[in-house]
Amino acid sequence: MAMPSLPKIWDTFPELNPPLQNVLIEMSESWRIGFSEIDNAIRSQASAGKLVRPALTLLFSELTDAPYNQKAIVLGASIELLHLATLIHDDIIDESKLRRGQDSIQAHFGKDTAVYAGDYLLTGMLSLLNDADNIQANKLALESLRNILFGELTQKHNRYLTDTSFDNYLTQITGKTAALFKLSVLFGATSSDGVSSQLLDVVGKLGENLGIAFQLLDDYLDFESITEQLSLGKPAGQDIRNGIYTAPILFALENPDINAELKELLALRDGITDDQLVHIHNVVLESDAMSRLNSLLAEYSQELDDLLNKLPNNALRQKLSHLATLLLNRKN
C-alpha cells in the first residue's frame, strides 16, 4: 500500500510523518461503508484536512512512557473522524455551501447524504475508540461529546441575539472548537502510562486554550476577508446572515456609537445584501473591535506560553511552541 501524503504543515515535523500516515490508514479502513455516494462524500472532506487534532494526540503521547504508541495512533484517527462528523453536521445546520475551499457535502451531495456521512463517521469514531481499549479515553470522549452538543445548543440559542455577551460566546466556542482540541491532547497524554493527574490538568487547560485561540483567529480572518471574498464572487458573511455572531460583531455591538446602526442592519437577517454586508464590515473595522480581538489573542498566546512552560519535556515544548506559531499566525 502506498503511503498517503500529508499536508505541508507537517514537513517541519519529520518524526510525525510515519505515525500520521498510520492515522490516515486507520481512518480510511474505518469509514468505507460500501455505498459509493457516502464513501465519495466522506473522501471529499477527509482528504482536505490539516490533521491538526491527531497530530496533537501524537505529540502529547510524548509525555507518556511510549511515544507514538499504537493506541495514540488509533485515538488520533478517532478524533479526526469526530472532527469531520461535526463539520458535516455544522454545514447542514448552517446551510454552508463551502467547506475547506470546496463544495460542502450537503451542497454537493444533498442533505440526506450529508446526514448519513456524518452519522457513519461517528460510528467509525466509536469503533476506533473500542479498538483502543482505553477506559479513560472512553470517559474523555463522552465528556467531550456532551460539551460539543452543549456548544451547538448554545449557538442555536444565541442565533440573532444582538445583546448576548462575549462571555456567552466563549462558552459556545469552548464547547465546540476547544472541546475537540482538549480531547486531542488528553487522548495523547492518556494513551499510555506515565502522566500524573496534575500534569493531565495542565494538558487539558493547554488544549482548551489553544482551541479557543484557534477559533478566535478564525473569527478574525473570516471577518477580515469578507470584502475580498465578495469581490472574487465567493460566498461570504453567511454566519452574519444566519445570526451567528462571532467576536468582531460582538465587540462592535458593545460600542454605543454604532450599536443601533449595527442592530438595524443585523435585523435584516438573511435579507442582508452584499452591499449592506460590506457596510457592516466597514463599520466594524472602523470601531475598536478588531484591535480588541487582537489584544485578546495576544493574551491567549501568552497564557499558552505559560502552560507550555509547565510541561516537563523540553523537546516537546519546542515542538508545540513551533506548532502554535504556525497555527496562530496563519493567514487562512
| Residue recorded with cell 446602526 | 261
List the domain boundaries for the chain.
16-322
Q: Is the pLDDT of residue 2 over 70?
A: no
Q: Can you give the pTM of this predicted structure?
A: 0.94
- pLDDT at residue 30 in the model: 80
Predicted pLDDT at 3: 56
**Residue in the block written with cell 465587540:** 251
pLDDT, tens only, 32-81: 667 888 888 888 777 768 999 999 999 999 999 999 999 999 999 999 99
Least confident of 83-92, 125-134, 184-193, 213-222: 83-92
pLDDT at 84: 93
pLDDT over threshold 60, residue 1? no
Cell of 104: 460542502
- What is the maximum alpha-carbon separation in the chain? 62
The answer, yes or no, to whether residue 309 has pLDDT greater than 80, is yes
The cell 474523555 sits on which residue? 140
* Average of per-residue pLDDT across 145-149: 95
CATH topology of domain 16-322: Farnesyl Diphosphate Synthase (1.10.600)
pLDDT at 331 over 50: yes
> What's residue 91's pLDDT?
87
Judged by average pLDDT, the poorest of 101-115, 236-250, 281-295 is 101-115
Determine what percent of the chain is predicted with pLDDT higher than 90. Answer: 78
Q: What does the pLDDT look like over 265-274, one tens digit per residue?
A: 999 999 999 9
How far separated are the first and last CA of the chain, in Å rounded?
Answer: 33
